[in-house]
Amino acid sequence: MQHLKRFPFRRYIMATTSPTTPPITATPSAAYATLKCGITVIVVIVMVVGIIFSGVFYRHPVWTIDQAMDARLRFAGFHSEYVRVGSYRVHYFVGGKGKPLVLIHGLGARSEDWTPEMPVYARNGFRVYAIDLLGCGRTDRPDIAYTIEEQVDLIQGFLNAVHVEKADVMGWSMGGWVALEFALQHPERVDRLVVMDSAGLKFKTDLSPEILEPTNISQLKRLEAVLIAHRYYIPEFVQRDLLRTMERNRPVVRRTLQSLLLEEGDFAGRLDQLQMPVLLVWGARDELIPPSVGTRMHGAIPQSVLEFYSGCGHLGPATCADRMAPRAMDFLRSQPPMAGGEFHY
């Protein structure tokens, strides 16, 4: 080892390398050059796609968000389907395997608004049907009054069309009203009932119906403040696109509001006829339909379970889905069924 350490490597190398010999350089292999070219192409494609996507999002933000939600649902195993209910072409999402669960959205909304919750139910033993009500989403927009009764008939016809005899039913906002009325008229078709921030009972409020029909950004911001407990920054270009979308929905929303104002409170004295397990879910900071409405419903339905969620507003099923959906799922699966009680989360 000592001889090896004393060996003059540096002088040997210098002695065997001529000063006139050109330096040895490494030449990239063909594979390396191909890889480098491929990476460059990928980077350029990503940049171009990013620029195009940014432009599309700026011009059509609502459409872009809708595409993202549809992609999320497809990834979770949901399919967009249509079915004929009487003379109407009705759109719905369906996914999962197991017990049927029908989701009913609210006023001026659509089936995609359930996107934060739908995969949770589909992964846990439910066959989920999220329907677009008449005049909403991709369902037909007939020249009708858009009454609760007409939407109840739609749910009845829809279950017949998809060959579901009995299901758990979940409704949100006006969809809660539809779900309650459907359960009252067709109790044999509802196993368990969940309503979230439900309309249907009269209550005192300083808000006027016009707040649900904003025509400018200032009015839209006011509506957002009422619907969402925690303010989120929404860029102005998104706000403008939201207004354009609302403008297309305005005729249906206006007719529906007129019908609801005439019907409101009509079923208040019949709620005690509900015999199935009922879960009432409310955002504790709901400014559109206050928690006091949930308390009154709870008092009218003896076996109902009432849950309040702190920090959540009227859009709780979307913004607080990580808390609400698991609890709703527990209610739907519990044996024996939950009954009675008020809880705060």
Among candidate residues 243, 191, 199, the one with its CA nearest the CA of residue 222: 243
DSSP string, 84-118: EETTEEEEEEEE-SSEEEEEE--TT--GGGGTTTH
Q: Which residues contact 145 (CB under 8 A, 6 or more apart)?
A: 255, 258, 259
Distance of alpha carbon 319 from alpha carbon 19, whole angstroms: 74
Q: Determine the pLDDT at residue 310.
A: 96
Distance of alpha carbon 159 from alpha carbon 153, whole angstroms: 10
Q: Determine the pLDDT at residue 53.
A: 46
Residue numbers of the chain with a pLDDT score lower than 50: 1-21, 24-26, 44, 47-53
pLDDT, tens digit, 9 for 90 and up, residues 163-185: 999 999 999 999 999 999 999 99
Distance of alpha carbon 48 from alpha carbon 50, whole angstroms: 5
Fold of 78-344: Rossmann fold (3.40.50)
Question: Per the structure block, which two tokens stand in for 167?
Answer: 């299901």
pLDDT, tens digit, 9 for 90 and up, residues 67-87: 889 899 999 999 999 999 999
Cβ(107)–Cβ(174) below 8 Å: yes
Number of neighbouring beta carbons within 10 Å of residue 227 = 21
- Would the CA dihedral through 134, 135, 137, 138 be positive or negative? positive
Whole-Å CA distances, 323 to 116, 280, 285: 11, 14, 15
Q: Please, which contacts does 231-235 make with residues 24 or more away whose CB atoms are closer than 8 Å?
A: 235/61
**Start-to-end C-alpha separation, the chain:** 75
Q: Please, which contacts does 160-164 make with residues 24 or more away whose CB atoms are closer than 8 Å?
A: 160/85, 161/83, 161/84, 161/85, 161/90, 162/83, 162/92, 162/94, 162/129, 164/100, 164/102, 164/129
Amino acid type, 254: R
Whole-Å CA distances, 214 to 81, 186, 209, 245, 250: 31, 36, 10, 11, 9
Q: Determine the pLDDT at residue 133.
A: 98
Domain ranges (residues) in the chain: 31-75, 78-344
Among candidate residues 99, 119, 118, the one with its CA nearest the CA of residue 190: 99
Q: Determine the pLDDT at residue 15.
A: 39
pLDDT, tens digit, 9 for 90 and up, residues 8-38: 434 433 334 444 445 544 455 666 556 655 5
